[in-house]
Structure 1
Amino acid sequence: MSQVFKPATPLLSRRGLITSTAALAAASALPCPVWAKGGSIREARKGFGTYSGEDINLSIGNAHFATGGRSGHAVAVDGMIPGPLIRLREGQDLRLHVTNNLDEYSSIHWHGLLLPFQFDGVPGVSFPGIKPGETFTYEFPIRQAGTYWWHSHSGLQEQMGHYGPIVIEAKDGSDSAYDRDYVVLLSEFTPMHPHEIMRKLKVGEHYFNRSMMTASEGDLSGEQRRMWGKMRMNPRDIADVTASTYTYLINGHGPADNLEYLFQPGEKVRLRIINGSAMTFFNMRIPGVPMTVIQADGQDVADVMVDELQIGVAETYDVVVTPPAGSHAIVAESMDRSGMGVASLTSHPGRRASPPPLREVPTLTMADMGMGMDMGSMDHSGMDHGSLNHSMRDKRLVPPDVKGGPGVDMISPMPVDRMDYPGLGLDNVPHRVLRYTDLKSKKMNPHRMPEREMEIHLTGNMERYMWSFDGKKFTSVSEDPIRFGYDERVRVKLVNDTMMAHPIHLHGHFFELVNGGEHNMHQPRKHTVIVQPGSSATFDLTADEPGDWAFHCHLLYHMHAGMMQVVTVRPFPGDA
């Protein structure tokens, strides 16, 4: 039940869908591969085939993966990395039969899909997980359209290749407005086992960082340099895991694979950009080709033309481009600028576009420390790492349920809303960059004022690699979930007390970003929001999906280290 993928072949075009489906039907008649029967490990195919229909079978198994000069063990679905594209239609019913051929539990979470919570795919929250050798059937109606993805929620399997894209065609036929329709799935590959990565981060959080600032580098003032030193932090602490071990992938292809997306001059090309990585924020651009953003997290937004956008882990953006004849580089540069994923958008098959060089590594500022935007009035001369937590707590009211202790090494004293911030390193580029404040829902939202407000702190100790909500790791709060009444309207303020950006994802719901728009009836709907370092982000949530849902940072190792919680929505409609 798979297709052979060639790097020079378009991944998904409206014109080729009928042919693709016919090939899939033929492939489904082939005998089951050896690896799916628990046999020897095979080399995983780069890229993915397309599955569709109302009854789909998927098999999770061990594999081997190689790209560039790196190779190692992987987890593949039906022998593909990424796993197959699940192409669906809004309004259809769906059954997915998932067989686990690993020797450990596994799962699939349908990221961004609205469904009954028992099919959300989070072990320990919505179901037990899929035992080795067993098959679990997910069954739910498709209630939406847009670009989404799926991935394991078991252990650290997502890092090893267990993920894939979802495209849901709108029932109004609007998807047919484009000549080409491509998936651009961003991710990473490392030959290092994810448990070993986690161990190294616990031993030294800078283990993978090769761009740390030395005593003589940069343009920091003496006072700022002393403060960074006393806090035992480095202004180049941008990403936990970098290109020192990662190869950045587009649809499973590394930069050396010469992946091509074909077009004819004058065509409108839709690119469905998905950040399916474990740990990497990507800065996306096609030099010389403007991009018009039409969807965010699968939801329609008013057109916004940009030259670059930052996409956090788990976010999706749909953009439309009309490239001139020639070959153009699709560039997914990691936020720390240690590496990039590269493909060619070309009207000349076989002609590779030359990517631009990596840009200068960005540097954190006092604003990323939660010191607000004006540092001139603050006296840092007496601060040290031990007293920082107490001094910051004294400067503003912190909710009493924020637990102190070794897992919290700082509290942002003056966090500000940074919805208008384009992302680290993109605030001083000469071209147009997408900001959350640019996003406006194309569809009018129901007008409802929040009934109550809630503040949640994103906390951590970077040196000890401890991450949490309100100072409490998931293991210590699993019996004390965040509670919402069914259909309750709540304004949630996320305060990032750490110096790293966190993509925060709520399962089973879309919330509305409070992004300073003129009218809150057009607040953009998303399922994931980047909360910038030392700042806040606010959303309005109508809790209209009953059940138990995961709520977590989508940086895989942060979630694994404890930055996760359970959201409970009760009662179920119809309950007495």
Structure 2
Amino acid sequence: MTTLINRRRMITSMVGLAAAASLPVPAWAKGTSLPHARNGFGELSGEEINLSIANHHFMTSGRMGHAFAVNGTVPGPLIRLKQGQDVRLHVTNKLEEDSSIHWHGLLLPFQFDGVPGVSFPGIKPGETFTYEFPIRQAGTYWWHSHSGLQEQAGHYGPIIIESAEQDSRYDRDYVVLLSEFTPIHPHEIMRKLKVGEHYFNRTMMIATEGEMSGEMRRMWGEMRMNPRDISDVTGSTYTYMINGHGPADNLQLAFDRGERIRLRIINGSAMTFFNVRIPGVPMTVIEADGQPVDPVEVDEFQIGVAETYDVIVAPQDGSHAIVAEAIDRSGMGVASLTSHSGHVATPPPLRETPTLTMVDMGMMDHGAMGHDMSGGGMDHNMRDTSKLPGDVKVGPGLDMVAPMPMDRMDFPGLGLDKVPHRVLRYTDLRAARMNPHREVEREMEIHLTGNMERYMWSFDGKKFTAVTDDPIRFGFDERVRVKLVNQNMMAHPIHLHGHFFEMVNGVDHMHQPLKHTMVVQPGGTATFDLTANEPGDWAFHCHLLYHMHAGMMQVVSVRPFPHEGHH
């Protein structure tokens, strides 16, 4: 008991210090008694749904801290809807700060999209806001706060929209919502990243330096980069969760012998890419981001922040570990899929941390650098801004240029390109339903830019605060091909609100898979075709929460052009 009280006292004082450094101290940080949030979620359905956002304590796997819980749980409730219904969601904000809910992946009128300052003013303390819209689609989605950094602290939950058509391919259906919990307040994490973006990576750096050859060490040092700087925030502070349960909770998902099970896997984390596998059990991918794809059987896949994949599995009798291993291998979320109540599957050990390569810097190989490796040219080559288009702003917010960015849609994700089993690639995805045929009318390029040392992130070198008056403009119903060019060494999951775009992944254009979030690999490019047929102003951003918060966001404005030829 004393340990718990001491830990509570310590966390309260840490949170207090973090808050005191910036804003007036909120009530929850003054040691005020707060209710404990329950781990996991209940379910709500129907045409009228009530949600309430409030301060809570939360605990899992021995870590405890403050949470923004919705209806008293972390994650918040599963919202189950039916295609074709109308819904009214009444959201009450019991916090001392503004809040919001964004319905991630849902097609709806833009004023109900839930992004403060873009599509509505936000929900003030003590107020209730009603979201009202028809349900136009089916599939697996999720919801989360779009205010400050609340999403990191528990303010998110799953959405299932049942199709009007019956699906006889499975007997049972589970949500597998992946996320993280940390006792450190999100604003304190942001402060630490600003002070030094390696803050949560120190042990990884030391390990790497010991393994590298002298030449490699000198090369990375010359570029002022760390080949294991893969995740900005790691298992040193995060507990990785499945459905609100850390590994120590022994979460079990029951099944009966011979059943086929649909797992709706949602990456609802703030900052973590996960490698998902069930050792010994193949997974058949049937949907990506809620949209049907031709079935693809794999043994593992990497899921970017905010993506969803639905898979069908047919496990043998017994217990099987559902493993969501963080991309940097600093921890994992674990649950047991079991036909024997009380039996907990043993997860595999963590694998070795992967290391970034020349390709992740946008270089084919050493020779592509055009400079002698031992000279001082490498650093110059990585920062040669003369190759950038004129509309990319060059300044302190841009400290790296990929010399030869190339299409990496076929790359399965860092650490999964050398494994012996089958791994999902974007190039494996093919839309199950045919897309309407449309010729591309216009092409554009958007550069993903940043300064990792200063923790500045942007599109085209411009932070969000500097570009709100100059949105990305699309004419209503215009067909545009957008090429995203990643100028740095981190994978970025890029999300467009209010639309599905078609990934240009090499399949015939009538079957390009529909997505709302797409990972752009380090030093690589990724392209999508968009028919801009949802009018209004929409957020467009990196879904790594601290990247968005640091400026990697834009507004996409879809409306009729005032006169012909205005692009």
Q: TM-score, normalised by structure 2?
A: 0.91
What is the CA-CA distance between 1:378 and the residue it aligns to?
3.3
Counterpart position of 1:333? 325
Counterpart position of 1:570? 559
After superposition, the Cα gap between the structure-2 partners of 1:377 and 1:192, relative to the gap in structure 1 and judged at 3 Å, is closer
- Answering whether residue 40 of structure 2 is matched by residue 47 of structure 1, we say yes
Aligned letter for 2:505?
Answer: N
Counterpart position of 1:189? 181
Q: Is the 8 A contact 2:382 2:403 kept in 1?
A: no
Aligned match for 1:140, one of 105, 124, 133: 133
Aligned letter for 1:544?
Answer: N
Counterpart position of 2:302? 310
- Residues 95-117 of structure 1: CA distance to partner in whole angstroms, max 9, x if unpaired? 00000000000000000000000
Aligned letter for 1:204?
Answer: G
- Answering whether residue 455 of structure 2 is matched by residue 462 of structure 1, we say no
Counterpart position of 1:262? 254
What is the CA-CA distance between 1:215 and the residue it aligns to?
7.3
Matches of 2:378 and 2:59, distance apart in 1: 43
- Answering whether residue 412 of structure 2 is matched by residue 422 of structure 1, we say yes
- Residues 286-332 of structure 1: CA distance to partner in whole angstroms, max 9, x if unpaired? 00000000000000000000000000000000000000001000000
Matches of 2:54 and 2:547, distance apart in 1: 25
- Residues 223-248 of structure 1: CA distance to partner in whole angstroms, max 9, x if unpaired? x4322111110101010000100000
Matches of 1:119 and 1:152, distance apart in 2: 13
- Residues 374-419 of structure 1: CA distance to partner in whole angstroms, max 9, x if unpaired? 646632443468734553x34x4x2111011111001111001011
Q: Is the 8 A contact 2:468 2:555 kept in 1?
A: yes
5 Å-filtered alignment, 1:39-438, equals 40-174=33-167, 176-209=168-201, 210-213=203-206, 217-219=210-212, 222=215, 224-372=216-364, 375=367, 378-379=370-371, 380-383=373-376, 387-388=380-381, 390-391=383-384, 393-394=385-386, 396=387, 398-438=388-428
What is the CA-CA distance between 1:40 and the residue it aligns to?
4.9
Q: Is the 8 A contact 2:53 2:71 kept in 1?
A: yes
Q: Is the 8 A contact 1:213 1:234 kept in 2?
A: no
Q: Is the 8 A contact 1:457 1:470 kept in 2?
A: yes
What is the CA-CA distance between 1:217 and the residue it aligns to?
3.0
Q: Is the 8 A contact 1:284 1:330 kept in 2?
A: yes
Aligned match for 2:441, one of 433, 451, 455: 451
What is the CA-CA distance between 1:461 and the residue it aligns to?
0.5
What is the CA-CA distance between 1:427 and the residue it aligns to?
0.3
What is the CA-CA distance between 1:571 and the residue it aligns to?
2.5
Aligned letter for 1:122?
Answer: V
- Residues 209-229 of structure 1: CA distance to partner in whole angstroms, max 9, x if unpaired? 12115575335571x432211
Counterpart position of 2:24? none
Aligned residue pairs: how many?
Answer: 530
After superposition, the Cα gap between the structure-2 partners of 1:78 and 1:401, relative to the gap in structure 1 and judged at 3 Å, is same
After superposition, the Cα gap between the structure-2 partners of 1:368 and 1:51, relative to the gap in structure 1 and judged at 3 Å, is same
Which structure 2 residue ranges, 5 or more long, are not aligned? 1-27, 563-567
Aligned letter for 1:165?
Answer: P
Counterpart position of 2:10? none
Counterpart position of 1:521? 510
Runs of 4+ off more than 2 Å: 213-221, 224-227, 372-378, 380-391
Counterpart position of 1:26? none
After superposition, the Cα gap between the structure-2 partners of 1:141 and 1:359, relative to the gap in structure 1 and judged at 3 Å, is same
Aligned match for 1:558, one of 547, 550, 564: 547
Matches of 1:533 and 1:301, distance apart in 2: 26
Matches of 1:388 and 1:242, distance apart in 2: 30
Matches of 1:400 and 1:134, distance apart in 2: 45
Aligned match for 2:536, one of 541, 547, 551: 547
Q: Is the 8 A contact 2:272 2:326 kept in 1?
A: yes
What is the CA-CA distance between 1:439 and the residue it aligns to?
0.2
Matches of 2:473 and 2:189, distance apart in 1: 34
Matches of 2:460 and 2:279, distance apart in 1: 41
Aligned letter for 1:469?
Answer: F
Residue identity over aligned pairs, in percent, reads 76
After superposition, the Cα gap between the structure-2 partners of 1:63 and 1:385, relative to the gap in structure 1 and judged at 3 Å, is farther
Aligned match for 2:493, one of 479, 488, 503: 503
After superposition, the Cα gap between the structure-2 partners of 1:376 and 1:138, relative to the gap in structure 1 and judged at 3 Å, is closer
Matches of 1:428 and 1:76, distance apart in 2: 40
Matches of 2:378 and 2:186, distance apart in 1: 30
Matches of 2:221 and 2:440, distance apart in 1: 43
After superposition, the Cα gap between the structure-2 partners of 1:216 and 1:115, relative to the gap in structure 1 and judged at 3 Å, is closer
Counterpart position of 2:20? none
Q: TM-score, normalised by structure 1?
A: 0.90
Matches of 1:572 and 1:50, distance apart in 2: 43
5 Å-filtered alignment, 1:530-545, equals 530-545=519-534
Matches of 1:101 and 1:145, distance apart in 2: 31
Matches of 1:569 and 1:455, distance apart in 2: 17
After superposition, the Cα gap between the structure-2 partners of 1:355 and 1:480, relative to the gap in structure 1 and judged at 3 Å, is same
SS of alignment partner, residue 106 of structure 1: coil
Matches of 2:162 and 2:303, distance apart in 1: 22
Q: Is the 8 A contact 1:213 1:235 kept in 2?
A: no
After superposition, the Cα gap between the structure-2 partners of 1:80 and 1:487, relative to the gap in structure 1 and judged at 3 Å, is same
Which structure 1 residue ranges, 5 or more long, are not aligned? 1-34
Counterpart position of 1:5? none
After superposition, the Cα gap between the structure-2 partners of 1:69 and 1:215, relative to the gap in structure 1 and judged at 3 Å, is closer
